Amino acid sequence: MGSLHEFENKSVSPIKPLDSEEFRRQGHLIIDFIADYYKNAEKYPVRSQVEPGYLRKRLPESAPYNPEPIETILKDVEEHIVPGITHWQSPNYFAYFPSSGSTAGFLGEMLCSGFNVVGFNWVSSPAATELENIVMDWLGEMLKLPKSFLFSGNGGGVIQGTTCEAILCTIAAARDQTLRKIGTENIGKLVVYGSDQTHSALQKAAHIAGIDPKNFRAIKTSKSSSFCLSPDSLQATIDSDIEDGLIPLFLCATIGTTGITAVDPLQPLCAVAKRYGIWVHIDAAYAGSACICPEFRHFLDGIENADSFSFNAHKWFFTNLDCCCLWVKNPNALIQALSTNPEFLRNKASDSKEVVDYKDWQITLSRRFRALKLWLVLRSYGVVNLRNFLRSHVKMAKVFEELVGSDKRFEMVAPRYFSMVCFRVSPSVLFKTNKYENGKADNDVEKVEKSNEVTENLLQKINASGKAYMSHAIVGGMYVIRFAIGASLTEDHHVTAAWKVVQQHLDAILN
Ligand SMILES: Cc1ncc(COP(=O)(O)O)c(C=O)c1O
């Protein structure tokens, strides 16, 4: 067999990967393509309906030897890629948490990709670092974070890729801060706390940071306290750990848990944590955005006693993936855990210690100029429009909540604080319907199981219809449908239409 090189076609003309005019031409085509996609987003089944492995059957087995025109490639995107896309920008998208797109976020991302700088330290692109310092202070002020979290108050903010990274970095900072006092040989004694509603990011981060898996505490929550972390339970768990000779290290409190947007009470939790010098991180990945509105800011009361705070601007803040905003009160703790200083990166500015070198605030060395997209979002919309847009989603969620409340076959599972409604098929009503009236289900367990089965079946049918996409959670043994509003194209009529889809499918199941 001859190698590919034996057949090299020497006559092809060399490529010009950054030809301005070709970029302009192709760029216009792509922008037109995406603009049409947004216009038509509603026409696609929201959740992709393809089967696993669909794409390998459609694409060639190897990369093309000869170049192909953008027109041909775009045609394949339309024919083969789009069917395999779940349309997060569809107005009928209500699953997980939103990834609310915006023109400003998209164009900021384009500028970032266009400049394609690698801003690992200040000197590698001063604007990348300085703009990030500025937008993080702007945003921190919008959220009314205590000054101690801002650069203007000896703290500081950094844009991470995701919350998973933000939590890992803060655990590493807390771990090293404590190990400096108690000796690295004691790492096996460190304990990390969250609730059974805390995102799995915490457990993963604790694991990666070398915390003994036996010392990870997912403290149980209950329906009676709306699935928030109880300060008394935290205190009892800490007491028991201390009795066992362990050392409390880190608490992750959540504002808007992933399952049902529960809100952990920051003030009393921080009060408990403070007694033991525990590092408190506040994860507000989804709900943090809402706190720029004065009427939601109270959810962050108590933050003054926390050590770090993060939220994802790429969720419900109109900034394209990836953009997790993390603030810390003590940047030195991060830097001590994450910095490296190879000779090839040495420069006067870094040596002067007058600049921020973000490579020391994160896991990776190389980093994108993410601040641009956030800057564009903040400037293009202004605080006033951002607040109003978030409020419009909350208002739609209230309407949906009322619709759920008006149909006795359903029940809300947890309070709605933001733009997500969690509901299930009501166990009590279920047993009154024809289909189940002869069932023996006369105890609670059986009722809940039946409700779980019907609710899950209902969700599968809704999503298979392609008309709307919702997702689920299991809390306190209950299977619940999560209806999260936040896609930028969603309007009132999409919400009422989605509710009709829910009702129609339940009608079909029960009849
Ligand atoms: C509360 C919470 N924390 C963390 C995460 C993980 O976020 P990321 O994907 O940015 O790591 C999520 C994702 O939905 C979340 O809801």
Residue 265 has pLDDT above 50, yes or no: yes
Does 429 lie in the same domain as 397?
yes
pLDDT band at 432 (very low <50, low <70, confident <90, very high): low
Ligand 1 contact, 97 CB (< 6 A) = yes
Q: What are phi and psi of 510, to 5 degrees?
A: -80, -25
Does 352 lie in the same domain as 411?
no
Q: Whose CA is nearest to atom 10 of ligand 1?
A: 162
Residue 1 has pLDDT above 50, yes or no: no
What would the pLDDT profile of 125-171 be if each residue is shown by its tens digit?
999 999 999 999 999 999 999 999 999 999 999 999 999 999 999 99
Which region among 68-82, 354-368, 437-451 has the lowest average model confidence (pLDDT)? 437-451
Residue 26 lies in a domain: yes
Residue 433 has pLDDT above 60, yes or no: no
Ligand 1 contact, 162 CB (< 6 A) = yes
What would the pLDDT profile of 178-201 be if each residue is shown by its tens digit?
999 999 999 999 999 999 999 999
Indicate which atom in ligand 1 lies nearest the CA of residue 258: 16
On the question of a cis peptide bond just before residue 322, with omega within 30 degrees of 0, the verdict is yes
Q: What does the pLDDT average to over 242-256?
A: 98
Residue 143 lies in a domain: yes
pLDDT band at 14 (very low <50, low <70, confident <90, very high): confident
> CATH no. for residue 471?
3.90.1150.10
What burial letters (b/e) apply to 98-126, b meaning 16+ CB within 10 Å? bbbbbebbbbbbbebeeeeeebbbbbbbe
Q: What does the pLDDT average to over 237-264?
A: 98
Indicate which atom in ligand 1 lies nearest the CA of residue 287: 1
Does 353 lie in the same domain as 390?
no
Ligand 1 mean position, distance from CA 348 (Å): 38
Residue 11 lies in a domain: no
CA gyration radius, the chain:
25
Does 396 lie in the same domain as 362?
no
Number of neighbouring beta carbons within 10 Å of residue 334: 24
Indicate which atom in ligand 1 lies nearest the CA of residue 324: 10
Does 348 lie in the same domain as 413?
no
Ligand 1 contact, 159 CB (< 6 A) = no
Does 385 lie in the same domain as 363?
no
Residue 437 has pLDDT above 70, yes or no: no
Residue 436 has pLDDT above 60, yes or no: no
Q: What are phi and psi of 234, to 5 degrees?
A: -60, -45
Ligand 1 contact, 201 CB (< 6 A) = yes
> What's the confidence (pLDDT) of residue 2?
43
Residue 247 has pLDDT above 90, yes or no: yes
Residue 450 lies in a domain: yes
Please give the C-alpha separations between residue 506 and each of 167, 213, 438, 470, in angstroms, as whole numbers.
40, 42, 19, 15
Pairing relationship of beta strands 420-425 and 279-283 according to DSSP bridges: unpaired
Does 351 lie in the same domain as 393?
no
- Whole-number average pLDDT of the chain: 95
Residue 76 lies in a domain: yes
Ligand 1 contact, 164 CB (< 6 A) = yes
Please give the C-alpha separations between residue 83 and each of 62, 73, 270, 466, in angstroms, as whole numbers.
21, 15, 47, 12
Residue 460 lies in a domain: yes
Ligand 1 contact, 258 CB (< 6 A) = yes
Single residue among 338, 368, 398 that ends a domain in this structure: 368
Name the residue of 312, 315, 322 to mutate for ligand 1: max ligand atoms within 8 A of Cβ: 312
pLDDT band at 6 (very low <50, low <70, confident <90, very high): low
Residue 274 has pLDDT above 70, yes or no: yes
Q: What are phi and psi of 327, to 5 degrees?
A: -115, 145
Ligand 1 contact, 289 CB (< 6 A) = no
Residue 246 lies in a domain: yes
Residue 423 has pLDDT above 90, yes or no: yes
Residue 234 lies in a domain: yes
Residue 390 has pLDDT above 70, yes or no: yes
Residue 468: exposure state from Cβ atoms within 10 A (0-12, 13-18, ≥19): buried
The one-letter amino acid at 95: A
pLDDT band at 430 (very low <50, low <70, confident <90, very high): confident
Count of domains forming the chain: 3
Extended strands (E) in 294-451: 308-312, 324-328, 410-412, 420-425
Residue 59 has pLDDT above 70, yes or no: yes
Q: How many CA atoms lie within 13 A of 386 on its CB side?
A: 29
Ligand 1 mean position, distance from CA 199 (Å): 6
Does 263 lie in the same domain as 224?
yes
> What's the confidence (pLDDT) of residue 446?
85
Angle subtended at Cα 389 by Cα 41 and Cα 200, rounded to the nearest 5 degrees: 75
Q: Which domain holds residue 73?
A: 16-45+48-84
Residue 502 has pLDDT above 50, yes or no: yes
Bigger pLDDT: 4 or 340? Answer: 340
> What's the confidence (pLDDT) of residue 370?
97
Does 252 lie in the same domain as 155?
yes
Q: Structure tokens of 377?
A: 């979002």
Does 383 lie in the same domain as 286?
no
Ligand 1 contact, 418 CB (< 6 A) = no
Single residue among 368, 402, 431 that ends a domain in this structure: 368
Helix boundaries (H) for 41-85: 54-58, 70-76
If you write DSSP's letter for every residue of 383-403 in order, what string do you get?
Answer: HHHHHHHHHHHHHHHHHHHHH
Indicate which atom in ligand 1 lies nearest the CA of residue 312: 10
Single residue among 368, 388, 406 that ends a domain in this structure: 368
> CATH no. for residue 64?
1.20.1340.10
Does 181 lie in the same domain as 40?
no
Does 140 lie in the same domain as 241?
yes
